[in-house]
Chains A and B, each alone.
Chain A
C-alpha cells in the first residue's frame, strides 16, 4: 500500500478517534429508534462536512470525489466504532450513485446534496415474493399513461422503506419479451399516492425490512433511469456499484473477542470453559479463518490499487462469515446456559449472541449461500451454467 494511502488511513484514524465517540457506543445506549436515527443523520452530516461522507461521489453533490480504495479504507476504520450506519447502508451505496449517474440534471441538484447529507433516505425496491435470487422474474408492472407510468404490484424485503423518502424501483414494462428484456428502472417519491409500506417481523426482532404495495402509483417519465426495457442492466449496475463491499469481519455478529470474553467467564461441568477442548478448538479455528480472510482482503485491496477488478474474494468472505457467525453463536448459547434463552433488551445481532444465532439472514440476503456457490462454480471454476428453461422465452409465456 502506497504512502498516500497510509497517510489517508492515519488521518482517518485520528479523525475518528476525535469525533466518533460522540456518535457511538455509550452515546447510543438506550436510544429510541427515532433518536438513534437522528444521531445517524447528524453523524452523516458531520462526515460530509469533513470530507468523509460519500467519499467516491462527485464534489458538486457534497461527496469527496475520492477513489474507491479510500472509501474502503475509511469504512474499515469506521467499523471499529459502534456507529449508527445501518439506516444509510443501502441509501448512499446503491440508489444514490445510480441516481446521480442516470437522472436529469435538475433532479440531481434537487435531491443529491440532501441525500448525501443524510437528510433524505432512499430505499431499493427490487425483490418480490416471486423474485428473490431470480430478480429478473419480477412482476410489478408499469403501464404507460399520460406523461408517465402507473405502477402496480408488490415488493418485499425492502430495507428501511418505512423511513425512506425516495426509492428506486424495477418494474415490468413489456411482458411479451424474455424476462430480463422487459424491465424498466425508475426513481420515485415514497410519499406518492398508492404506496403502502408494511413492516416485516423478523426472528431476531430487527425493524428494518418491509413489504411495499403499489396500487397504480404514478411515476413521471422523467423519473425513468435508463432506457425503456433497459432496466435490468441498470439494476445489475446498481448491485455492482460496490465492486468490493467492506463487511464487518464478524459477519455483523459478536466478535471472536466477545466470544473469548464470554468463555472466560463461563464454566462447563465444573471447570472453566476455556479449559474445554471443543471451546479451544472453536476459538482457534475462528482465529485461523479470520487471519486467512484478512489476507484475502489485503490481496483484494492490492488488486484494487493496481486498477484490477476484484475476483471471488467477496463471495468467499460472505460464505465463510455467515457460517462462522452461526457456529460461534451456537456455542455461545451453550455457554450462556439458561441466560441464552432470551433476547437481551436493546440487543442487536452485533452484541447479542442469541440474535446472531436466531437470524441467519446473512446467509440469505444479498445473495444466498447457494447463489454464491453457483457464482464460484460458474465464474471461477468455469463449470457450465445451470439449466435455465426460461432462457429466451417471453415472460408471459412462462408457466407461473
Chain B
C-alpha cells in the first residue's frame, strides 16, 4: 500500500476542498436543504470540475479515476457535511450503471457526467438491513418482454430529485437469492409510481417509493433478465467504500472542532483542555479515528483482490467505522456539553450524519455478523 497521495490526487483534494468550503459550508446549508438538498448551480459546477464522472470510464465521458480518488472526494463531503446527492448519483448510480455494461447505460452515464441526468438507484427495501440480495419487489411477466413491478423501496436517497429510477425487481427465485434480480429503468412519473419525499435525520432528502402495477418492458431492462445482482454488488461495494471515506471526513472534523472547543471553553477557572480526563478522552477518539482510517486504506487496497477478500475488507471497514464513528461523534457532543445538543450548532449534525452512515449499506452489527459467519463457514485465518 502506498499511503502518499500523488500530485494529481493532492490537487484533486485541494480543489474539492475549495469547492466544498466555498459552496457547501454548514452555515450555507439551510437554503439548500429547504430546496430538497439539491442545488442546480452546485451540480453544474461539480460536472464542470469533472467530479460527477470521476470514476466513470472515459468512453462515457468520465475521468476514469480509481476508488482512491472517489474516496478523497467523499472525505471532503464528510468534512463539511455536504447534503447534496453526490454519493447517490455520482457513486452509487454511476457505478451500478457502468457495471451493467448495457448499451443503454452509456448515453445515460454521459448525461450523468454532464450533470444533465439524475439517475438514482432504488434498491434497498425496509427489511434488507444490508443484505444486498434482499429484494421483495416483484417483476411479474405479463407476456414476452413485458413485466409488472409491485413493491416498495425505502428511503431512496436523492429519490426526491431523480429524473430516472433504476429499480431492482425480482423476476425469479426467492426473496433473498442473488439470482433472479433484474434491473429496470423506471420513469418516476410513470403510472403506478407513487413517491413520498422525506427529509432524513441528517438533512438529506430521500423518497419512499411505492410501485403498483408499474409496466416495464425489455426496452427498460439493464443487463439480462435475472442477472442484475453483479452490477448491484459492484455499485454497492463502491458506495460502501465511499461512505467509509465520508465517515473519516465526518469523524476528523468532529474531532478537531472539539479539540478547538476544549482550548477555548473555560469552567472552574480553567480550560476544559486542562482536565486530564478530557485529554485522555480526546486521545481515545484520535485512536478510533486512526484505526478507522487504516481500515479504509485496507479496503481500498483490497478492491482488486478476489471477491471474498474484497468483501471481507469492506466488512472490516464498515463494521469498525460505524462503531468508532458513534464513539467519536457521540463524545464530540458530550465534550461540548449543552451546546452540543442544539440544531443550530454544527457538532450534533456530525453525530446525525454518522448515525445515518452507520445505518446505510449494512450497519456495524450486520458487517460484524458477516465476518463472523465467514469465519464459521471457511475458517479463514486473519
Contacts and interface: CB of A to CB of B under 8 A. Distances in A.
A91 interface: no
Contacts of A269: 129, 131, 366, 369-370, 373
Interface stretch (B37-45, B79-87, B220-228, B270-278): B270-278
Contact of B363 (A334, A343, A398): A334
Contacts of B338: 127, 132, 156-157, 361, 364-365
B333 A133 contact: no
A270 interface: yes
A354 B202 CA distance: 12
Contacts of A268: 129, 365-366, 369
B341 A361 contact: yes
Interface string A381-400: 00000111111010000100
Nearest to B275: A386
Q: Closest 6 A-B residue pairs measured CB to CB? A: A390-B269, A201-B343, A338-B154, A134-B267, A337-B129, A389-B269
B184 interface: no
On chain A, which size bracket covers the interface? 35 or more
A42 interface: no
Interface in A122-149: 127, 130, 132-134, 137
B78 interface: no
Interface string A175-205: 0000000000000000000000000111100
Contact of B365 (A331, A359, A390, A398): A331
B119 interface: no
Contacts of B348: 203, 358
24 contacts: A132-B338, A134-B269, A137-B267, A137-B269, A201-B343, A203-B343, A268-B369, A269-B129, A269-B366, A269-B370, A331-B365, A333-B363, A337-B127, A338-B128, A340-B359, A341-B200, A342-B200, A359-B341, A360-B333, A361-B341, A370-B334, A389-B270, A391-B269, A398-B269
A110 to B, nearest CB: 34
A159 to B, nearest CB: 12
A293 interface: no
B136 to A, nearest CB: 12
Nearest to B274: A387
Contacts of A368: 334, 337
Contacts of A334: 129, 359, 363-366
A348 B80 CA distance: 29
B198 interface: yes
A342 B196 CA distance: 13
Contacts of A389: 269-270
A369 interface: yes
On chain B, which size bracket covers the interface? 35 or more
A339 B154 contact: yes
A330 B356 CA distance: 11
Given A203-B342, A203-B352, A389-B269, A333 B366 contact: no
B341 A364 contact: yes
Interface string B147-163: 00000001100000000
A326 B373 CA distance: 27
Contacts of A398: 269
B287 interface: no
A391 B127 CA distance: 58
B268 interface: yes
Q: Which of B268, B326, B352, B363 has the most CB of A within 10 A?
A: B268
A19 B158 CA distance: 49
A278 interface: yes
A326 B330 contact: yes
A364 B269 CA distance: 20
Nearest to A137: B267
